[in-house]
Amino acid sequence: MRVVITGAFGFLGRRLAGTLLHTRTLRGTPITRLVLADRIVPPDSVVATDPLVEIVHGDLIDRLDDVFAQPVHAVFHLAAAVSAECEADFDLGMRANVDTTRALLDAARAQSAAGGPTAQVVFASSLAVYGSSPELSLPTVVGESSLPVPRSSYGTQKLICEQMIADCTRRGFLDGRVARLMTVAVRPGRPNAAASGFLSSIVREPLAGLPAVCPVRPDLRVALASPRRTVQGILRIAEAERGVGPGRLDGRAPVNLPALTVSVAEMLATLRQVAGDAVADLVTIAPDPAVEAIVASWPADFDSTRAAALGLEPDPSFLSVVQDYLADHPEASPPTRRL
């Protein structure tokens, strides 16, 4: 089985690759080749040295011939331009998100039409497909049957990709599966251009002794998932058998991954509980209307019935999210850690 991860050296891609290299199977079948595709390949990447790994370096839309040079059985499509990038540069978002996904789907379709395997394509979508508008407000609790009305270019681009994947699946070109990700926190590493990036930086940076800015009001409620739960959800959707009933993936509709709903104030209180006043006081509240307009348009409360039927659960608390982060990144643990 030849498995591809796009955006493989982003933080979720690295975690997913590490998990697959540990199990060395997908859907009970041994992985014979794990193709890691990304624009940037870190020179010190540990996963790149595994004999199972093949690296495809460059813009995905330009390297699909190499990705599909041998039969592809499964693709985890994580590569994307993020929310604030897409709002600042419409053409960048359309090329990176819509055009590249269309080209990937065309390559999978061509493989099937030529008598090759019908590729499974697992797409990382986003809660940003939802948004409240004056003429059509969101329900208090959002489920897959709630009408997506994106309030950002990023959300619109993700929704376009969802619909393309659903139609290609209906036509039998591929087996498309869509996981709508919650905001993933706490992300390690450096800040990115996502509008939601502050939800990691207001924890990550203070734990490292650095100041951080919170660009939204503290009472704003958000839907989060830890990196562990997010990767678990993506893999579960890939491995679920098609059909109706517990443990099966029904239909072509996207699955909203489980969400932990928490306010920014509660996040900051947890940081104070874990690391003390001196660390928590490194966070400054400085509302940015542009950032808040994007993040506040996303729902915070989700119906996770379909995800629960697949055996998926949300993180139990934000404290557990921070504990997971510190366990996975012990170098981030502050001297005054209270866990």
DSSP assignment of 134-190 equals TTBPPPSSB-TTSPP--SSHHHHHHHHHHHHHHHHHHTTS-EEEEEEE-EE-S--SS
Q: How many other C-beta atoms are found inside a 10 Å radius of the C-beta of residue 275?
A: 23
Give the largest CA-CA distance in the chain. Answer: 63
- Predicted model pTM: 0.94
Residue 310, in any domain of the structure: no
Return the closest-CA partner of residue 298 out of 112, 128, 157: 128
For helices 100-113 and 153-170, the axis angle rounded to 10 degrees is 10
Return the closest-CA partner of residue 53 out of 78, 16, 80: 16
Per-residue confidence (pLDDT) for residue 244, from 0 to 100: 87
> What is the Cα Rg of the chain in Å?
20
**Same domain, yes or no, for 251 and 174?**
yes
Residue 140, in any domain of the structure: yes
State the residue range of the domain holding 77.
2-184+225-256
Burial 30-69 (b: 16+ CB within 10 A, else e): ebebbbbbbbeeeeebebbeeebbbebeeebeebbebbbe
Grouping H, G, I as helix, E, B as strand and the rest as coil, residue 255 is: strand
**Same domain, yes or no, for 250 and 105?**
yes
**Same domain, yes or no, for 82 and 148?**
yes
Task: Compute the distance between CA of residue 265 and CA of residue 267 in angstroms, rounded to an integer.
Answer: 5
**Same domain, yes or no, for 33 and 22?**
yes
**Same domain, yes or no, for 211 and 289?**
yes
Active site residue 154: yes
| Amino acid in position 43 | P
Tokens 């591929």 belong to residue: 174
Q: Which of 154, 173, 302, 318 is catalytic?
A: 154
From first to last of the 339 residues of the chain, give the pLDDT tens digit.
999 999 999 999 999 999 999 999 999 999 999 999 999 998 878 888 899 999 999 999 999 999 999 999 999 999 999 888 999 999 999 999 999 999 999 999 999 999 999 999 999 999 999 987 778 888 999 999 999 999 999 999 999 999 999 999 999 999 999 999 999 999 998 877 788 999 999 999 999 999 999 999 999 999 999 999 999 999 999 999 999 888 899 889 999 999 999 999 999 999 999 999 999 999 999 999 989 988 988 999 999 999 999 999 999 999 999 999 999 988 777 655 444
**Same domain, yes or no, for 123 and 210?**
no
Answer yes or no: are the C-beta atoms of 77 and 104 closer than 8 Å: yes
Per-residue confidence (pLDDT) for residue 334, from 0 to 100: 66
Answer yes or no: are the C-beta atoms of 155 and 129 closer than 8 Å: yes
Per-residue confidence (pLDDT) for residue 229, from 0 to 100: 97
Answer yes or no: are the C-beta atoms of 186 and 321 closer than 8 Å: yes
CATH code where residue 143 lies: 3.40.50.720
Tokens 């489980």 belong to residue: 258
CATH code where residue 288 lies: 3.90.25.10
Residue 177, in any domain of the structure: yes
**Same domain, yes or no, for 36 and 90?**
yes
Residue 190, in any domain of the structure: no
**Same domain, yes or no, for 202 and 55?**
no
Q: Is the peptide bond before 184 cis (omega within 30 degrees of 0)?
A: no
**Same domain, yes or no, for 252 and 269?**
no
Return the ∠ at Cα 279 (arms to 274 and 280), rounded to 5°. 75
**Same domain, yes or no, for 200 and 129?**
no
- Across the chain, where does the E strand assignment appear? 2-6, 25-26, 29-30, 33-38, 53-57, 74-77, 120-126, 175-181, 183-184, 212-214, 221-225, 241-242, 248-249, 255-256, 260-263, 283-285
**Same domain, yes or no, for 21 and 129?**
yes
Residue 145, in any domain of the structure: yes
**Same domain, yes or no, for 234 and 249?**
yes
